[in-house]
Amino acid sequence: MATPMVEDKLVLESAETNPFEAMMARFDRAAKLLNLNPDLYAVMRVPNRELKVYIPVRMDSGRIQVFEGYRVQHNFARGPAKGGIRYSPDVTIEEVRALAAWMTWKCAVVNVPFGGAKGGVVCDPWQMSQGELERMTRRYASELIDIIGPEKDVPAPDMNTNEQTMAWIMDTYSMHARHTVNAVVTGKPVDLGGSKGRREATGRGILFVVNEAIKRFKMTPPTTRVVVQGSGNVGGIGAQLMHEAGYKVIAISDVYGGIHSPDGIDIPAALEHLKATRSFEEFPGVESVSNSELLELECDVLVPAATENQIRSDNAERIKCKVLAEGANGPTTAAADAILHRKGIFVIPDILANAGGVTVSYFEWVQDRMGYFWKEDVVNERLQDIMVASFNDLVKYADTHNVDTRTAAYMLAIDRVAYDTRMRGIYA
């Protein structure tokens, strides 16, 4: 099954944990293999626009604190820019720039008519009250008003943001527009124009592509041992759906650590325990593992669904799965790619594996613009059609071009964006 991969010495020597370099290393390799026209290369390798804002917020103490926020709009060739907003003390403009580019390639891989964007605010949401979060979100949204909108750029939830955050952004935007504009964001509460199935969409998308991948190994869910890193919107829901589909989920974690049982974990009970106690500790009948030990467990499917740079050149050799389904954005460094490839691990790259979220975001945007809302079954069925077709397109592309699946995903995406850019022409 292993196919030759183009080794790029530069990839291995690059600063391994810089997500923008990780993205560019893959972009450059794919562009070279595609023989991308130099003018298109020059335009596509950089973002279209980057906005940095300073956000004053009246804290509960009565004092003003100023937060730094970003919105990077990477590409508009295929439609409005699209991508989440994350709140974290570690957010940097470089990370947001990489995540924005990943959105462009992700939307192209699943062929939804969006470009890519991403936003971030440097803050510690765990230390902030709901009131402080609301005021920060509204002021950040008001700073973005000129560049977001249903036809321009449509934000969504990402790390540490949720339906409530989207409702505040939608309301702030709508107050300034003087009428309700629900298509300005996706991932809203269902009652405010959100889509049924959006919250579960990223996890459900992972389930659909894993279902396809295990067929290549002649495995079925009951005989497939799954390890999930993360228990949030992607990992938690993904694990739950895989458990319901009959998979044997043998390990799961949150930021502090994880639990492991070779016989399989009762995932609904474990998530209940996590919700009630805010920790997996003391969950009965399992052994504790650290997040790095969890990644190295013997399993069939590994789903890193937490954060970037989890699989690197220093631990990739010890990864023991058959299928790596990347739930997070950028969980594998570019330097680790070659090692996984050599080990014969079948990688479902992030820009496909976690694209279920943006796919249902697209459905949400369509429903908002129609003012007509679909049943959950319709949403899930259409999501399945797109994920399965995109998986098959990707595998076929990899086979035809004799490249690994990661390279194939970038090539496929870049080729689609390049075609549209060429047809539109460069306004230069």
Residues near ligand GLU (CB under 6 A) are 82-84, 156, 158, 186, 329, 354, 357-358, 361
Report, in Å, the least distance between residue 325 CB and ligand GLU.
Answer: 14
- Which contiguous run of DSSP H or E holds residue 57? strand 49-58
CA-to-CA separations, 144 to 51, 70, 95, 352, in angstroms, rounded: 8, 9, 19, 28
DSSP 93: H
What is the spatial distance between Cα 76 and Cα 117, in angstroms, rounded to a whole number? Answer: 9
Amino acid at 1: M
Catalytic choice (118, 196, 248, 322): 118
CB atoms within 10 A of CB 3: 14
SS3 label, residue 116: strand
Is the Cβ of residue 83 or residue 230 nearer to ligand GLU in the bound state? 83
152 is catalytic: no
Supply 297's token pair.
């467990």
Report, in Å, the least distance between residue 353 CB and ligand GLU.
Answer: 10
For residue 39, list its beta bridge partners.
none
Is the Cβ of residue 186 or residue 224 nearer to ligand GLU in the bound state? 186
Amino acid at 68: E
Nearest to 113 by CA among 158, 69, 79, 148: 79
What is the spatial distance between Cα 355 and Cα 410, in angstroms, rounded to a whole number? Answer: 14
Report, in Å, the least distance between residue 290 CB and ligand GLU.
Answer: 26
Is the Cβ of residue 354 or residue 405 nearer to ligand GLU in the bound state? 354
SS3 label, residue 7: coil
Is the Cβ of residue 99 or residue 297 nearer to ligand GLU in the bound state? 99
Q: Dump the DSSP string for 110-121.
A: TT-S--EEEEEE
Report, in Å, the least distance between residue 419 CB and ligand GLU.
Answer: 22
Report, in Å, the least distance between residue 400 CB and ligand GLU.
Answer: 27
Is the Cβ of residue 185 or residue 301 nearer to ligand GLU in the bound state? 185
Report, in Å, the least distance between residue 114 CB and ligand GLU.
Answer: 8
Is the Cβ of residue 82 or residue 341 nearer to ligand GLU in the bound state? 82
User: Closest residue to ligand GLU, Cβ-based?
Assistant: 84
Burial class (CB within 10 angstroms; exposed 0-12, middle 13-18, buried 19+) of 284:
exposed
Enumerate the active-site residues: 118
